[in-house]
Chain A
């Protein structure tokens, strides 16, 4: 509860800070609109040549793209502002500041500040999901909607865990800055994993679980999801939270600070 209150206060301060820069606000909104529009346009061009992409129709692929935008928006709003170039905090000793505060360090280091304007991407993502459902001329059943929300939550948990896990590498190899690579691999979530050839598909499902971010939640919404997959998604989401806690604790034991 205390963490939730802190999270709310952080969000409020960050929002007021961002709203003070109105030109930035306009550019951010415009960037989001252009990014989403270009993704839709790219998808539109593909579907002028085919009716099915990896077994997905146009409406289904649009729902998937919208789901991807929602998780990307959450990543950009709550996670990235904290962990981007995290290795710098480790090598400069600035992490001391986080460790000295009476709050779990993993919370403060990964969710301690945010960029609320990134939520425009979440809103755009929701609109795109709506547009996809409209294209399919389908009203999702309550169970499908529930499955989508559960899988989306699991996807967000996996996203947070994978991003923090990547940042935690800095405790062992501070010279290895993989932020750009994470952003690059993230792009694979724009399309259904069935598009990719087999070794890549396996890797995107089980090694770098991009499939859990967009393909599986979107599949739950447009095609339904069995209880086994729902349980698997929940279990993997929960396991990823546990793993990241363990890795973070192990990393902190290696941290020696750089200041006096």
Chain B
């Protein structure tokens, strides 16, 4: 385990430095990732003016969004299409490590680039963050980050079967946008749909930590949310492992 962590740290550091070479592009990616939370903030502030918690929720959601971004359809899927995936398969460690290293490095970059925007929002829209709620949201944020990586990784593995992996991941992202708490906080879903929204994995990947941070959940709801996160993380990790095992047998590459 310690060796695995050392290797992962090395990959994260190496890829963090690699990304530094095209940091201007990361700025544009960060702006792109920030747009949906900002749109949500503007729309819901206009729809429900004066409603407490909306600003705090969407600023927290922006932080979660930047810390859970996943580009495995670019890193993993494109590597499979180009045959570069062979390099990872030949290395004497878990194949997921380089992809995970890039994922963590990109998230760090997104957060670093996003800090001025987050700070400006905190000043402009008036965010009221409670220390207890913020601390309670940290484990949820870690679980959300893990969950979103596993989800995107599993979808990106579709590149082993089809040329449409970008579409498959794009479809997953649409679901996260719609049902994860970006288009609307789950707490504002129509009553009949709300329990379903709370139970699906998309909220666990994005909206749940922001809901805790904005103080919109009761103790029981927080516990239930953590339960769903752990459950979905187990289920999606098992799914990703099955997809990986059956997909890797299909992989072929030309060249050498």
- Could you list which residues of chain A lie within 8 angstroms of chain B, going by C-beta atoms? 23-24, 27, 30-31, 34-35, 38, 41-42, 45-46, 48-50, 53-54, 175-181, 183-185, 187-188, 190-191, 194-197, 200
Contact = CB atoms under 8 A, between A and B. Distances in A.
Contacts of B25: 177, 180
Given A45-B183, A50-B47, A190 B190 contact: no
A193 to B, nearest CB: 10
Nearest to A196: B42
B184 A42 contact: yes
Given A46-B184, A181-B31, A187 B47 contact: no
Enumerate the 10 nearest inter-chain pairs by beta-carbon distance, A residue then B residue, closest first.
Answer: A42-B183, A180-B28, A45-B184, A184-B32, A195-B46, A184-B35, A50-B47, A181-B28, A180-B32, A27-B167
Contacts of A179: 28
B39 A191 contact: yes
A191 B42 contact: yes
Nearest to A179: B28
Interface in B53-92: none
A24 B178 CA distance: 24
Interface size class of B (residues with CB under 8 A): 20 to 34
B174 A188 contact: no
Nearest to B36: A187
A23 B184 contact: no
Interface of B: 24-25, 28-29, 31-32, 34-36, 39, 42-48, 163-164, 167, 170-171, 174, 177-178, 183-184, 188-190
B167 A49 contact: no
A195 B43 contact: yes
B132 to A, nearest CB: 28
B39 A54 contact: no
A176 B42 CA distance: 28
A177 B178 contact: no
Contacts, number: 82
A27 B189 contact: no
A191 B43 contact: yes
A223 B251 CA distance: 57
A131 B34 CA distance: 30
A53 B42 contact: no
B72 to A, nearest CB: 18
A76 B39 CA distance: 22
A188 B29 CA distance: 16
24 contacts: A23-B164, A27-B164, A38-B177, A38-B178, A41-B178, A42-B178, A42-B184, A46-B43, A48-B190, A49-B48, A49-B188, A50-B47, A177-B25, A177-B28, A178-B28, A179-B28, A181-B28, A184-B32, A184-B34, A184-B35, A187-B39, A188-B35, A196-B42, A200-B42
A188 B31 CA distance: 13
Given A175-B24, A177-B28, A187-B35, A46 B47 contact: yes
Nearest to B193: A45
A197 B25 CA distance: 28
Given A42-B183, A196-B46, 14 more contacts: A38-B177, A38-B183, A45-B188, A45-B190, A49-B188, A54-B46, A176-B24, A177-B24, A177-B28, A183-B32, A184-B35, A187-B36, A190-B39, A191-B43
Nearest to B29: A180
A89 B255 CA distance: 28
A53 B178 contact: no
A138 B25 CA distance: 46
Contact of B167 (A31, A184, A185): A31
A50 B32 contact: no
Contacts of A178: 28
Contacts of A49: 47-48, 188
A79 B102 CA distance: 32
A184 B183 contact: no
A188 B167 contact: no
Interface centre among A30, A54, A188, A195 (most CB of B within 10 A): A195
Contacts of B183: 38, 41-42, 45
Contacts of A42: 177-178, 183-184
Interface centre among A31, A54, A179, A184 (most CB of B within 10 A): A184
B31 A180 contact: yes
